[in-house]
Chains A and B, each alone.
Chain A
Amino acid sequence: DQQVKQNSPSLSVQEGRISILNCDYTNSMFDYFLWYKKYPAEGPTFLISISSIKDKNEDGRFTVFLNKSAKHLSLHIVPSQPGDSAVYFCAARGNAGNMLTFGGGTRLMVKP
């Protein structure tokens, strides 16, 4: 039973446009959410996070939105750059433990 799902395995976007990556979760005990970016042959790199007490967090070109009632979060990248091409993982953490539960990832391709 996947508690964190990323339903789009891949996304292709033109350089300069917005990239929107989506993530859904089922466990209502999750209270902290993160996005990681992964390049081939490297470990996941932390990108941005959001606590369940907020509905938006922004860091430069990256914004994460959280809709608790829908158990849905999204990552917006504006403007998208070719260097953003990578696999993006959504992750969630509950207040009872420190482990992260990851989604299956979305491969983003930003075309020049």
Chain B
Amino acid sequence: GAGVSQTPSNKVTEKGKYVELRCDPISGHTALYWYRQSLGQGPEFLIYFQGTGAADDSGLPNDRFFAVRPEGSVSTLKIQRTERGDSAVYLCASSGGWGDTQYFGPGTRLTVL
């Protein structure tokens, strides 16, 4: 497909477990973003990659959250020792470069029991 894809679409885990969320950006897009959307709120910025490097990770809430993009394409958001408050929809977006329109994937709904 031509759009941003995210897997899994749903993830249910238990408190304290480790989870990985995957994002496949639009082919050729150099910029990739992660956002988190809690119920009834707008998306909140987590981290932004330009190529392989994290250009801005100021939105990561704490050191349990980490993201990588080793080859400048697919990105993985990793959450250690999950807490119930981590339950949200995690959205990934990509753009052609700095300042270009961000296109969003369908999100991964994470539920921490």
Contacts and interface: CB of A to CB of B under 8 A. Distances in A.
Contacts of A99: 33, 45, 48, 56, 58-59
B72 interface: no
Q: Bin the interface of chain A by size.
A: 20 to 34
Interface residues of B, number: 27
Contact of A44 (B48, B95, B104): B104
A102 B48 contact: no
B51 interface: no
B102 A49 contact: no
A51 B71 CA distance: 33
Most buried by B among A4, A46, A99, A100: A99
B101 A46 contact: yes
Could you say which of A4, A89, A102 has the most chain B C-beta atoms within 10 Å of its C-beta?
Answer: A102
B91 A98 contact: no
Given A43-B104, A45-B104, A101 B4 contact: no
Contact of B43 (A41, A89, A97): A89
A73 B106 CA distance: 26
Given A98-B56, A98-B99, A89 B104 contact: no
Contact of B91 (A44, A103, A104): A44
Contacts, number: 57
Nearest to A87: B42
Contacts of A43: 4, 91, 93, 104-107
B101 A100 contact: no
A34 to B, nearest CB: 8
Contacts of B48: 97-99
Contact of B42 (A45, A49, A97, A103): A103
Shortest beta-carbon contacts, A-B, top 6:
A102-B42, A43-B104, A99-B45, A44-B104, A43-B106, A102-B43
Interface of B: 4, 31, 33, 35, 40-45, 48, 55-56, 58-59, 91, 93, 95, 98-99, 101-107
9 contacts: A43-B105, A43-B107, A45-B104, A46-B101, A89-B42, A98-B56, A99-B33, A99-B58, A104-B40
